[in-house]
Amino acid sequence: MIAFPLGATTTPAELARDPHLRLAELRAHEPVSWLPALNGWLVTRRDLVLDVMRDAETFTVDDPRFTTAQVVGPSMLSLDGAEHTRHREPFAAPFRPREVREGFAEFIDEEADRLLTALEPHGAADLRRDFAGPLAVAVVTKALGLVDADTGTVLSWYDAIVRAVSDLTAGHAADPAGPEAYARLRAAVETTVAEGAAAAEATDADPEAEGAAAAEAERTAVAEPEVPTPSLLTAAADRLSLPEVASNAAVLMFGGIETTEAMITNALLHLLRHPDQLALVRADSALLDGAIEESLRLEPGAAVVDRYATRDTTLGGAPIRKGDLVTVSLAGANRDPAVFPDPDRFDVRRDNSRLQLAFAHGPHYCLAAHLARLETRIALRHLLDRLPALRLDPDRPTAPQGLVFRKPPALHVRWG
């Protein structure tokens, strides 16, 4: 007798294509199930998913099999405990709610406007490739503040690093372009930190010039001159080594592009697929946040996250052994009917949609969640305000797909 018959017949292709029916069956009958195809456990019930993500001592990311670390080295993504805190804290301040609004809102607004102005005359576009993706790359480029690295350069590095990580995840050798791109990113980080330090030294070395400039500004009723503030990477270099700054920059780049592009694209797809819900949002802009949370619940950009058991334990009645891969399904947890009634329905007025776990939970809760929400809110507002006839292209249907990261391969729309 097979102990986990549903898990035994679950395939990666099924989970990548349209996983939600199978996840519902697993959640109801095998909430912690052994999947031979993944050589690990899959956890689908929300309370058990939370148990795993909260307990970093028993379920860790710090394991040699963690593929991102194999490409970019140890980072906040692949460490736990005190080392995780040491890597994460130097990057936290710019991503707090107030700092996100003050530091990014105007830039996101201008960039979304620029992208849409270029697209608007055409009457049709792939909004993933032509809008959501470029916007996400531009915001990450600004956040990192890399010297001599424009959005195209950052995107090329990102693409190569992601391919290398994907190769390792699939059990293949990493594409050498990935380590080469990471080496270029690391060099850019070192240059950025060096120039930031030099600028700070120059300011400290000439206080008389700074005072004279301030006096001149006051005399001419002009705002005080702006004293250069350290970039995110320069500030982090005060507490981390340069290789550690670079590895965390790569993680921020990866998360900021991959999952934010998915967040914008999936939310727009949900709204356009449900004209009644879109009409509610158009009539009451306050419902836009609810639409974003509901989209995150139904289709999180990262569908699963991996952990590794540090000891023998029992989870949901399943016998976990030390060293076992334990994959938690955020997609499964987000449709748990014990928490979300009628869980497959897209409802922008759902009163508990913020209980979704798309940004994970516990010590590895997404550092830039506030920025991702702001970016998605501004992007959708621009699209809905400027394109009142926005609709899906009926000749080019699409749907989210992907085993780990889920979004449509393209989002073809029309307007006008």
3-state secondary structure of 145: coil
What letters, b where the CB count within 10 A reaches 16 and e where it falls short, cover 32-61?
Answer: bbbbeebebbbbbbbebbbbbbebbebbbb
Which is higher by pLDDT, 316 or 416?
316
User: Residue 113's CB: how many other CB atoms inside 10 A?
Assistant: 13
pLDDT of residue 356: 98
Q: Which residue has the higher pLDDT, 210 or 335?
A: 335
Interval 368-387: pLDDT, tens: 999 999 999 999 999 999 99
Length reported for the chain: 416
Sorted by sequence, the CB contacts under 8 Å of residue 63 that are 6+ apart come out as 308
- Among 366, 254, 176, residue whose Cα is nearest residue 246: 254
Range name among 132-146, 212-226, 340-354 with the lowest pLDDT average: 212-226
CA 253 to chain centre: 9
Instruction: Give the per-residue pLDDT at 215.
Output: 56
Q: How far apart are CA 387 and CA 407, in angstroms?
A: 22
What mean pLDDT comes out for the span 308-325? 98
Residue 301's pLDDT is what?
Answer: 95
Q: Comparing C-alpha atoms, which of 102, 145, 111, 185 is closest to residue 371?
A: 102
The pLDDT assigned to 374 comes to 98
Q: Which pair of tokens denotes residue 287? A: 């419902």
Confirm if 72 and 250 have CB atoms less than 8 A apart.
yes
Cα(38)–Cα(358) distance, rounded to whole angstroms? 21
- Percent residues over pLDDT 90 in the chain: 85
Q: What's the average model confidence in pLDDT over 87-93?
A: 96
DSSP states along 8-47 = HT--HHHHHH--HHHHHHHHHH-SEEEETTTTEEEE-SHH
Helices of type H across 120-238 = 127, 133-144, 151-169, 177-205, 207-219, 232-236
What are the extents of the domains in the chain? 5-190+245-414
Q: Which of 55, 70, 62 is nearest to 87 (CA)?
A: 62
Phi, psi for 117 (deg, rounded to 5) = -60, -40
Q: What is the DSSP letter of 404?
A: S
Residue 199 scores a pLDDT above 90:
no
Residue 319 tokens read as 């016998």
Give the model's pLDDT for residue 227: 39
User: How far apart (Å, rounded) are the C-alpha atoms in residues 80 and 155?
Assistant: 28
Q: Which two tokens stand for residue 77?
A: 């993504």
CATH of 5-190+245-414, one of 1.10.630.10, 3.50.50.60, 1.10.443.10, 3.30.540.10: 1.10.630.10
At residue 65, φ and ψ (nearest 5 deg) are -80, -10
Average pLDDT over residues 286-314: 97
Confidence of residue 203 (pLDDT cuts 50, 70, 90): low
Which residue, 337, 367, 383, 330, is CA-closest to 135? 383
**Are 375 and 136 in contact, with CB atoms under 8 Å apart?**
yes
Residue 212 banded pLDDT, cuts 50, 70, 90 = low
**131-162 confidence digits (pLDDT tens):** 999 999 999 999 999 988 899 999 999 999 98
Q: How confident is the model at residue 319 (pLDDT cuts 50, 70, 90)?
A: very high
- Token look-up 């005080």 returns 224
- Tell me what the pLDDT averaged over the chain comes to: 92
Give 46-89 pLDDT, tens digit per residue: 999 999 999 999 999 999 999 999 999 999 999 999 999 999 99
Give the per-residue pLDDT at 248: 96
- 175-192: pLDDT as tens digits: 999 999 999 999 999 999
Distance in angstroms (rounded) separating the CA atoms of residues 187 and 60 = 30
Helices 207-219 and 177-205: angle between axes, nearest 10 degrees: 80
Percent of the chain surpassing pLDDT 70 = 93
Rounded CA-CA distance 251/258 in Å is: 11
What's the predicted TM-score (pTM) here?
0.91
Residue 329: pLDDT above 50? Answer: yes
Whether residue 269 has pLDDT greater than 80 = yes
Torsion of CA 127, 128, 133, 135, to 10 degrees: 30
DSSP state of 349: T
Euclidean distance between CA atoms 131 and 220, whole angstroms: 42
pLDDT of residue 223: 47
pLDDT at 222: 47
Q: Are 306 and 68 in contact, with CB atoms under 8 Å apart?
A: no
Q: What is the pLDDT of residues 225-258, one digit of tens each?
A: 443 456 899 999 999 999 999 999 999 998 899 9
pLDDT band at 262 (very low <50, low <70, confident <90, very high): very high
